Each structure stands twice: as structure tokens, then as C-alpha cells.
Structure 1
Amino acid sequence: MPDSLTRDSATTSVVLLATTPACRLASGDGTLLDRLGEQLAALPVRGVQVVTADGGLATDLRGVAKIARAATSAVAVLPADLVIHTEALAALLEHPSHGSAALISHDATPGPLRPPARVEGGRVVAAGSSFHLVPEANATFRGVLQTGEADLATLADIADELAELAEAGKLGPVTPVEAVDLLLVGLVRSGVAVRAAGIGPLHADRVAGQHSADAALTRLAEVDEAKVRLDTSVKEDDGFFATFFVSSWTRHLIKPAVRLKLVPNTVTAISAGLALLAALWFSAGTEGGRLAGAVLLILSFALDCLDGQLARYTRTFSPLGAWADGMSDRFKEYAVYVGLAFGSAAADIWYLAVAAMVLQVVRHAVDYTYVGAVTDAARVGATWGRPARSLLESQDVRRAPGGVLKLSQRLERDTIARWLKKIVVLPIGERMALIAVTAVIWGSRATFLALLGWGGVAALYQLAGRIARSAR
């Protein structure tokens, strides 16, 4: 029976598998199990259930199944022989979605305690064990698996199925140390969308002996977790303008904002206020007014980046904050369109302004509709979103992407092509820069024409990509 350590916060419960001898290896004044317990106590988890009974792989899997069926929130499963940075645990356990996710490293060198995986589009699409092979692996699984509340029933069924297969000897030489690895294989093959939570420069290593445990602890001490936390507060997949012209300096405002006790929603409100002032200056229609409006608009976008960075750094995520941030972006952009139209004497300016606004609405509709369809596919499981694959197949075979998707993946591996792709879709940073530059140099009419021309190309590119991915 598991021991329980309760805690009255957050929405994720933790199952700590302490059924292998390695969890009792020395770590400071205690054991690896003690160390993990202290780390989890510092994180907002609902409770920790420590499974200590050593009944073999099938017993461990059935224990997880039982816990999953009784759980009412996300459940994270991890082995107690894990030496890991607290920040790496937080990257998974404190993510705002609390959905299904696995901790991975993009170091693709597999080992006995670091099984191979393949990651595409930020998701784990193939996972391995000593029995299950992963062709073209590009990552390794690092032992921490979280299952979202919507996928708990699938986890329980998978755990029971794996237990039966292991008892029957149908999974080859799998051992109790592979319990979490097998669960990841099962979730991925059942069609569950598993987010790939990367550890970046942090470490997460399972160990088998005291020497490897000591070496792993030494590696932890070589990394500055505080610096990594600051670095990872800046989005990795942001647009070109945001990455190189804004986030490169707003990251230095994160700690001052924390010291001033600013919360992300406050920064969002200030950003919206600056955008309104920009719209007022644009409406003046003078060269000085357009210049002042452009400066205020860029500052507004900088604070828009800062609010997200601050939320990630302080881990103060909320549905209200996400909604307010998204609505604020639309409000600020359309307010600026109105200001630019008022400040222009061109006869057709309002037609151009309305057309630019409609185009942006259509682009956002295409994006959000596609995201909603993907979410629905994940919710219904493998029925149409992704066909289930048998756990008895040792080789993970997936249909290779074709046409547009294959070209897109090839371009993604080239740094210059990847940034060009980001620029082509005209994300909000590029739109704000485009508005600011064209308004100052050529005026409002040129701004709307540029938005319609570039935005039209971006819409066609996005639509083609969405159709290709949906048809896959």
C-alpha cells in the first residue's frame, strides 16, 4: 500500500515509485527518496503517494492504475531513483495546462535508464523501452510522466493492460525500473497527446548505483538554476522581432518587476494603456503624432512580452490572465487601426482599415478553430485523431509525413529557413513593427496596404499548413 504525504494546493498529485533499491542510495544526510520528497514539498502539488511495496512490475503498474481511477486531478508518476533539478520538475508540474506531458531531453543518446523518444511539434509521438523500439529517435525520456485529468481513464486501462502483458512475458525482458517508461509508451500509442516538456540545460538522470548517483548530484551543482529559470522565462518559439529586438532587453526587467511586486495582469493593463495612447497620437495625423504613436506602440508590445515572461518566471498562471492577454492583444491592435484611420485624409482609408481588421479576424479564426479541432481530437482519443498502436509491436511505425509537412519539417531543421517561416506568418511582433515603421515613414494608407499584402500571404500560408496537417 502507498504512503501518503498530503498538501492542500495545486491540481497535480504525484505517485513516487520507490520500489527499486536505487531509491535508497545516499544523498547528503538522507536518501534519493528523501531528496525527491523535499523537492516535491517545495512545489505546488496536491499530494505525494509513495509506493514502497516491492511486488514487481505488474504490481507497480496495477497500483498506478488504481490511483489513476480514484484521482480527481492530474497525476504525475516518477521513480524515486531520479536525480533531478527542482526547476526541471517545475517545468512539468507547474505548467498551466496540467495536461499530459513527459519530461524529455533533446540529447538523443539512449541508455538503459534513458529510453529513446521522438518529438514532433512539441509532442511525444513515439516512445521506447527495452522492448519497444523507436526509429529516428531525436530525444530521450527522463522519467517524469504527467497524465492530465481527461486522460486518467486511459492511463488506468493502459497500466492494467501492461501489467497483464508483463506477467505473461509478452514484453520481453522488461523490468520494474521501466514502469514509467512503459506507461509513456502506452499513452503515446493509445493516441493521447503528450506534451514534450524539455529540460534544456538542466539535468534529470535515473541512477542505478552510488557512483552514478554521486556523479549525477555533482552535475546538478554545476548548473545555475536561477539563471536557467530566468532564461526559460523568455519564450523559445517567439517571433523574429520579439526574440531579437524586444525579449533581448525585456528579460532584464523581470527581476525589477518582481521586486516592485508587479503581477502579469497589471503589466497587461499598462500595455493596453500605452496602446490607447499610441492610437490617440496616431489620430492626430501629424508627423510628430505618428512618431510618438510608433514609439508608444513598440513600448506597448514590449510590455506585452514582459507580462508573459513575468508569468513564467513567477509561475503565476491563470485562465483569467491568459484570456486578458489574448483579448488585450486584439483590443490594442484594432484601437491602433482606428487611430490610424482617423489621422489620415485618404478617401479610401476606412475601407482599408476595415479590410485589414477583417483579415486579422479571419486569420485568428483559422488558428483558433484548428487548435480547437486538435484539442477535440485529443479529447476523444485515438478514434480519429491518431490511430491506436498495439503495445505488442516492438517497432513503432508511423505514417511518414508527406508533401507540405515533409518540406516544413525539413525547413525547420535549417535555422535561417525556420526564422523566415516565423517572419512570413506575420506574428504580432512583426505586425507592430510593420505598423510603426510604415506609419512613420509613409503614413497610414501605406500601413494598411502593407498589412493587407503581407497579411494575405500569411493567411494563405497558414491555411495551407492547417489543411495539410488536418488531412495527415
Structure 2
Amino acid sequence: MTVAIVLAAGAPAAGLPTGTGAPLADRLAGQLRGAGAERVHTVTGLAELAALVDTVTGPVLVTGADLVAHTAVLRHLATSPVGPTVALVLTDPPAAGRTVVREERGQVVDAGPELPDATGVFGGALRVGADDLPALAAAARAAHAPVAARLSPGTVAGDAMTGGAMTGGAAAGDAMTGGAAAGDAVAGGATGAPAAGSAVDRLFAAFTDLGTLTFAHRVRLLVAHRVTDPAGLAAAEAALAGVDEDRAELRLSVKERDDFFTTYFVSTWSPYVTRACARLGLTPTGVTMVSVLFAVVAAVLFGAGGRPALVAGGVLLYLGFVLDCVDGQLARYTRHFSAWGGWLDTMADRAKEYLVYAGLGYGATHAGFRYGWALAIAAMTLQTVRHMTDAWYGVLHDEAARRPRPVTPAAGGIGGKLNAASTRVQADTGSVSYWLKRTVVFPIGERWALIAVTAALFGPLVSLVSVLVWGVLAFGYTGALRTLRARWMWVPVLDTVDATLHRDDGPVAARLPVVRPMGPLTLAVLGALGPAVLLVVGLLRVAGDGDPGGLRWWLPVALLVLLVAGLGAGAAHNGPLDWLVPAALRAGEYLFAAVVGVVGGVPAWLVFGYVFVLTVHHYDLTARLEKRQAAPPLHRWTLGWEGRSVLLAVAAIAGFASPVMATLGAYLLVGFVASVVLAWVVLPARAGRAAAVPVRGGSPG
């Protein structure tokens, strides 16, 4: 349940009559109810706000009483999915007493009355998540204390003061001009000191000083202004009236910044589909499921082959991608967000793409190319490793934005210059360099467009080769630049999370000795080299019509080399590049599975299926990280990357590689499904029932 609080202290505009005749503070309270708040309180001081927050258990939406905005602005702030705590940030020019902010990567990293590098102005509204409520109460008390100390002993609490004298005997809670509730903004208070800004501004500055992670919510297309006088109120209301709120919300459902193909070939017409889905009562999850169906049918058509089927598959793949965009747009348009929906969207995106790879692999093999499935496995492995680096680089960048950058030998070097250049290009929206930067990294829209066009025109083989070539080039480009920038940022991001979980270590790795001098990344890369070398040798034998089964006894050697990566499991992951460890471990495990497939004579389609299940397992970990969810409930039963590899090696040496790989893949898939049901259905229902049971009190004995 969301509770809204209107902080009237220090807001002279609170009592100004609006176009409807109601005071601004009263209209704002009504808008907060329209934005979804179940309860709305108006408080006259920070001490009162702190006491109220102490009694609340759910999210709190705090606003000053000088905000003029569309109701949609407040609703968007209240439902923003970017994080639990979000602040409204405006582009209005700074004004006396207002708090300005500095943002990095969508996070408010500093706030105060004066900042030399400010990027915006606090909009007087803040949504605070349940876990951050203690910080909000502490900030309210901290912001209250300095001003309260300036009040003379004879001050009457709650009265409006001007130079310590009563002005019309305004009672606590009344709108005040030239005054404030006791303990808050005082205009020429008892000591004659000037006010340090309105109460809501001082509250937010104190809240930011506590280091609470706060995301910035910018206003686009809609209107939000803070006002101080009747003229400002009239101008703001005129601006509100000049905007079609529903039309603006529909346009806002489209991401502000997206990739080239999505921007010009999808988002130009997808909002009409979004509005139709909303009118039909479809949910974002329902649209996601339809997009999955389109991708599955496209994969089947790619596998069937023949020009009509390939063209139809390309069209369906494009339409499926449109729906993949529509599900997010529908969520933003209807404000129906959930952790489950976000997780499902991430998982569905990856599953759809890899099912399409399977269709292309089968189609290429069916058309007579011997290594169709091998190309599909390579494309899936490459894309998963890329996604792991993308996910962890994003976490690294977000963490770096919250920290002062330490002085290192790389400071001011090429990493700093690359960071500055990247920032300039990103700011130059719509330029050639901007679109080149966004396109060269081979984002999902460009991947799906490339697959659809090449499969329809040239067939599955060319499509897979195209994906691999562009993917390798993009990986090299992003890997080189991110490595340099990461060395400049120097953030030990894996030390901020459960490294064992995200490494996917199992019981074997936990029992291996720790080798600290080499570092976990070096060990992970060395571990991947053993399977890589043996895989190349095995593929060369297959290409020469030799028997790769003769390499079976080299599997223990490759396994021992792979297990070298486990020697870093217990070491600190605090190097500047240790965010690459999960990707290196994924590469090592997938390569070893491919080696077992080649040496053990496992059908290529079965190897693809097994690696596909592994990718689902690993994407589950990163999706939960991005959605701030707990670890999968059954994760400890997945054996770890090293445990699974040991089982496959033993099975291949014993001559049972195929049945063991199939059984292990089925086991992991069943465990994944069970974990999903537990995490998203059973455990929440159990928690809900527990919360509904009244607590019985009584004295002991």
C-alpha cells in the first residue's frame, strides 16, 4: 500500500487557489489519490513527517505543496520500475532555496543547494521504497534539527512566523506565505537567519547525504513545475492544459533511447498496437507469450526450409520482435509493472532467440551443411558470453556512478578519455556517430533484423554465419573498449554481491584450494583454454574424417585445466576486470560440454539442447540480479559448473556421454521450472498467508 505525504512546510504556494478554486495543496492531495495512493496525509513539519514514516510499512510518496504537474507525472513516479526509491528531477532553472542534483546513469549521486556540475533540479517529489523508510525518517529529523535550533524558546509550535511574530494566527497545517511550521523553513526566523530552502528540498538533500540509492525520474512530454506565486501557478496551469495527457502517455510508452532498427522500423507504428492491446485488455505477459509463439513458428519455418517458408519465417520473426517491444510499451502505458513480468520478459527474449538459432541450425543441416548445429551452438555460446559481459558491465557502471573514483595509475589515461568520448557521443542524440555506436554493438533489434533478412533471402547457413561474424566483431569492439574503461573506473563489483552464486560454483569448487596471486579472472581464462584447445583438435579430426573418440583419454586433462578456474572461487574478486569472471566461466563450461559432445559422439542437437538449458540457468541468475530478486530457491541443487563438467567427463570416458548429457539436461530443466514455481508462486503465496495471520499476544505463562 502506497502512502502519500504532502509536506506543506515552507511552501508559500500551498494555499494559492487553482483553476478549480481549490488550494494547490488540496488539489495535489487529490492528484496523489488519482495516482494510486491509498492514503494521503498533509503534514506541516519534518518532525511530523518523520513520526508518520515510522508507522508506515509500504512505499511512501512525498511531495512538496508547490508542485503543479499532470496526474500522470505523479503516477509514473509512484510506479517507476527503475528502483525502489525514485526522485522527480526537472530541467527548470535553479531557484533560491531549491535543491539541485547531479545524476550519473540515471542515479542521483549528489544533491544540495549549490552544485557546480548539477544536471537538474529536484522536482519536489520523491518515492521511497519500504527498505529506505528508516533513512527517510532519519533524513527528516536531520533536516529538522538545524532549523529547530534557530527557533526562540517563545516560539509557538505550528504558528506561522515572520521575524518571530504571529501573522494572522495561522494554525498548524494552514498554507503560509512568508512563514512555515515550527521547525521547518523560517523566513527571517527567531535568529534572523535566512531559510535554508523549503522543507522538502532540505529533506531530499539530507536523504541523499545518507547515501541512499535514488534513481532520477525525468519528465518528458508531460508538465511539472514548482511554483511560488500566482503568476507562476497560472503559467504552469496553462502549460498543463496545452498537453493531451493520454496521447503523451502513449508516446512515453516508447523508450526515449533505443537502437536504430527499433527506433525507425518498429517504434514508428508499435504504439498503435500498444493502444489496441490496452483497449482489448491484454496484459504485458500475454503479449510476451504471443511474441514467443511467433518466434517458435518462425524457428520451425526456418528449419523446414524452402523459399516461402523462409520468407514467412522472416516476417513472423519481425512481427514477433514488434510484439516484444509492445509488451514493454504496454507495461509503461498501463503502468502494470512487476518483478515477475520483468524477469519473464528477459528470459523469454533469450529463449526466443536461441530457439530461432535451433531452427537455423536444423535448417542448415537439413540443407546439406554438415556443421549447421555446430554453428548454432557457437552462436548461442557467443551471444550468452556477450550478454554476461553486458550485464556485469552495466552493474559495474552503475556501481561506479555511486562511488568517488579512486586515484589509480590509469586515472586520466586512455580509459578516462574513452569515457569522456563515449559520454559526448551519447549526448549527441541522432548524430551519425551516435547511431554507429549503438549499432556496432549488435543489439537485439539489429540481430533479429539480420536473421530475418538473411534467412529469407539467402537461407539458414548465411544467417548463422552473419550472426557469428557480426557478433565476433561486436564482442571484440565492446570488449576492448570496456576493458580500458573498466581499468579506469576500477570498481570491484563482484565483491558487492554473492560471488559464489554468480560464479555458479558448486561443492567441488568450494573444496578446492585458493590460489590468490594469479587472480580469479586469470584462473577462469586459463580454465577455459583447456576445453577450447581440445575442441579445436576434435573438430579438426572430424573435418578430416578421423575418429574424435580417440581423444577420450584427453578429457581428464581438459577437465583438470577447466578446474583451474575453481582455484579462484574463494579469492577476493576485487580486480578492475574481475567483472569478466562469470563470462569466462560460462565460456569454459559451454566449451567443455561441446568437447564432450564431439569426443563422446553425442548428437549435435542434444549438445545444443544441453547448452540451451545451461544458458537458461545462467540467464536466470543475471535476470534476478537485474530485477533485484533473491537467488533461485533450488540453486544449490544445480551442482555448479564444475560438478556438471565432472559428471560429463566421467560419462564420456565410460562411454555414456549421450544418456548422461540428456539426463543432466532434463534434471537441470526440471529444477529450473520447479525453482520458478517456488520463487514466483509458492513462496509469495506462503508469505501472503503468513502476513494475513494475526499475531496473538499475551503474557507468558
TM-score (norm 2): 0.58
Partner amino acid, structure 1, of 2:371: D
Distance 1:469 1:224, change over 3 A: farther
Q: Work out which of the residue numbers 364, 373, 376 in structure 2 matches 1:353.
A: 376
DSSP 3-state at the match of 2:121: strand
Q: Kindly indicate whether residue 473 of structure 2 is the aligned counterpart of residue 457 of structure 1.
A: yes
Distance in 1, Cα, partners of 2:260 & 2:294: 22
1:272 corresponds to: 292
What SS does structure 2 have at the residue aligned with 1:361?
helix
Q: Which aligned pairs between 1:5-404 and structure 2 lie closer than 5 A?
A: 11-19=1-9, 20-27=11-18, 28-52=20-44, 60-97=45-82, 99-107=84-92, 109-112=93-96, 115-129=99-113, 133-167=114-148, 175=195, 178-344=198-364, 345-370=368-393, 386=403, 402-404=416-418
Displacement of 1:218 in angstroms is 1.8
Kindly indicate whether the alpha-carbon contact (under 8 Å) linking 1:102 and 1:141 is maintained by their aligned counterparts in 2: yes
Please list the CA deviations of residues 10-31 of structure 1 after superposition, one character each: whole Å capped at 9, or x if unmatched. x432211123442111112311
Identity of aligned residues (%): 41
Question: Which residue matches 1:471?
Answer: 490
Q: Distance in 1 between matches of 2:66 and 2:91?
A: 21
Higher relative contact order (CA 8 A, sep 6+): 1
CA RMSD, 1 decimal = 2.8
- Write 1 or 2 for the structure with the bigger share of strand: 1
Residue 124 of structure 1: SS of its match in structure 2?
strand
Whole-angstrom CA distance in 1 between matches of 2:360 and 2:221: 45
Q: Distance in 2 between matches of 1:455 and 1:244?
A: 22
Q: Secondary structure at the match of 1:195?
A: strand
Is the alpha carbon distance of 1:165 and 1:469 closer, same or farther for their aligned partners in structure 2, counting shifts above 3 Å? farther
Deviates more, 1:13-22 or 1:455-464: 455-464
Give the SS at the match of 1:83: strand
Q: Do the aligned partners of 1:92 and 1:101 also contact (CA within 8 Å) in 2?
A: yes
Deviation at 1:94, TM superposition (A): 1.6
Three-state SS of the structure 2 residue aligned to 1:236 is: coil
CA distance in 2, matches of 1:253, 1:21: 45
Give aligned pairs, total: 434
Larger radius of gyration: 2
Find the residue that maps to 1:248 and give its secondary structure: coil
Q: Which amino acid aligns with 1:125?
A: V
Contact 2:97 2:196 in 1 (8 A): no
Deviation sequence 1:317-370 (CA, Å, 0-9, x none): 122222221111111111110111111122222221101101111122223345
Cα separation, 1, equivalents of 2:148 and 2:477: 51
Contact map agreement 1:74 1:98 (CA 8 A) in 2: no
Q: Distance in 1 between matches of 2:465 and 2:91?
A: 42
3-state SS of paired residue (2:370):
coil
Which of 404, 413, 419 lines up with 2:427 in the alignment?
413
SS at match of 1:202: coil
Letter in 2 for 1:353: A
Q: For structure 2, which runs of at least 5 residues remain unmatched after alignment? A: 151-184, 186-191, 406-410, 492-701
The structural deviation recorded for 1:385 is 5.1
**Separation in 1, partners of 2:199, 2:116:** 21
Between the aligned partners of 2:91 and 2:488, the Cα distance in structure 1 is: 24
Shift of 1:260: 1.7
Shift of 1:279: 0.5
Shift of 1:470: 5.2
Deviations 1:121-150 (A, max 9, x none): 222233232xxx111323222111122223
Counterparts of 1:189 and 1:387 in 2: how far apart (Å)? 14
CA contact (8 A) 1:166 1:174 kept: no
Query: How far did 1:244 drift?
Result: 0.9
- How far residue 288 of structure 1 moved from its aligned partner, in angstroms, is 2.2
